[in-house]
Amino acid sequence: MTIHVLVPVHNRADFTRQFLQTLRAQDCEQSLRIVVVDDGSTDHTREVVRDFDAEIITGDGSWWWAGSIQRALTAIDEQLRSGDFVYLGNNDTSLAPEHVTELLRVAETGAATVVGSVSNEIWPDGTINPVSAGFFIDPAQLTVSNAGMETSTGLDALAGRGVLLPATAARALHFSPRTRPQHFADLAATWRLRRSGFSLQVAMAAVSTQLERAGSSVEFRPTLASAASKRSSIYLPAMWSFWWAVSTPRQRASLPARFAARGIRQVRSGSYA
């Protein structure tokens, strides 16, 4: 068995080095094949990857997260065997030594199980807060809610950080890099896997620590102007295409009105700067 580790990066070479160090320190007995997708970095990322004897795929800065993962999956397809796994890693995390082993333990409970992990977020007040990778999606209310630390099964979607997929699920992953290049890409892809019959779970003992707060964190109020930026958590094409994808035909009929109404409520509530 081989675990193919796919790590999309853009600059932040020091983060990449720390992530790869914690990856190499895993207590996992299985073989780890590391593939770093360097999407147009201008720092010393290539030197860091070379230090760890990892494979590298080089982009031009236009791939973003979804495009990077898509290209990495294409690159490993011929080497991906039945019984192998694919791990999606973020370079802004530090993995606990048993992280991969705990993911594998849960994944092996079912041949069609995709497993997310738990991320310890360090909040501005210095407190450490564990956050599950699992989410519930409600297309009727246009809400995505975190499953919390009490629920590990029956999930609708998983965050893309620290996810372990069996080879069959990795081959079934579908992305739309043009409309969902970054935010919502992981939720949409794992939601589709669930609809295809895969079980989504979270391994509560598989822990990592985020090295910085995510751009979608609640204390970072996005500006309305950023809705046109692919980097933004409220990138309009990503939000619209996501809700269209997860809605039923009947829900799609009323989606434009509900989508606009929710946006107005968000603005009035002060959710956007």
Looking at the chain, the whole-number percentage of residues with pLDDT higher than 90 is: 86
Could you tell me the pLDDT band of residue 211, with boundaries at 50, 70 and 90? Answer: confident
pLDDT of 13 over the 90 cut: yes
| 195 Ramachandran zone, left/alpha/beta (phi>0; psi -120 to 50) | alpha
Q: Is residue 257 part of a domain?
A: no
Q: Is residue 49 part of a domain?
A: yes
Gap between the Cα atoms of 181 and 165, Å rounded: 20
Range of the domain at 93: 2-220
Whole-angstrom CA distances from 68 to 74, 101, 115, 155, 225 are 10, 25, 20, 25, 26
Output the pLDDT for position 216. Answer: 56
9's CB contacts (< 8 A; 6+ apart) are: 15, 16, 36, 37, 38, 39, 41, 45, 91
Q: Is residue 197 part of a domain?
A: yes
Q: What is the mean pLDDT of residues 129-143?
A: 96
Q: What angle do CA 132, 102, 37 make, to 5 degrees?
A: 75
pTM of the model: 0.95
Output the pLDDT for position 218. Answer: 53
Could you tell me the pLDDT band of residue 70, with boundaries at 50, 70 and 90? Answer: very high
Q: What's 130's domain CATH number?
A: 3.90.550.10
Output the pLDDT for position 191. Answer: 98
The answer to whether the CB of 206 falls within 8 A of the CB of 103 is yes
Q: Is residue 227 part of a domain?
A: no
Q: Is residue 256 part of a domain?
A: no
> How many domains are contained in the chain?
1
Q: Is residue 60 part of a domain?
A: yes
Gap between the Cα atoms of 189 and 175, Å rounded: 6
pLDDT of 127 over the 90 cut: no
Q: Is residue 204 part of a domain?
A: yes
| 11 Ramachandran zone, left/alpha/beta (phi>0; psi -120 to 50) | left
- Token pair of 2, please? 């081989």
Beta strands in 40-127 (DSSP E): 55-59, 85-88, 93-95, 113-122
Q: Is residue 116 part of a domain?
A: yes
pLDDT of 107 over the 90 cut: yes
Gap between the Cα atoms of 199 and 204, Å rounded: 16
pLDDT of 124 over the 90 cut: no
Q: What is the mean pLDDT of residues 74-101?
A: 96
Residue-wise pLDDT tens digits, 235-262: 999 999 999 999 999 999 999 999 999 9
Measuring CA to CA, which residue among 65, 8, 66 is closest to residue 34? 8
Q: What is the mean pLDDT of residues 209-230?
A: 77
Could you tell me the pLDDT band of residue 226, with boundaries at 50, 70 and 90? Answer: confident
DSSP H stretches of helix in 58-156:
64-76, 99-107
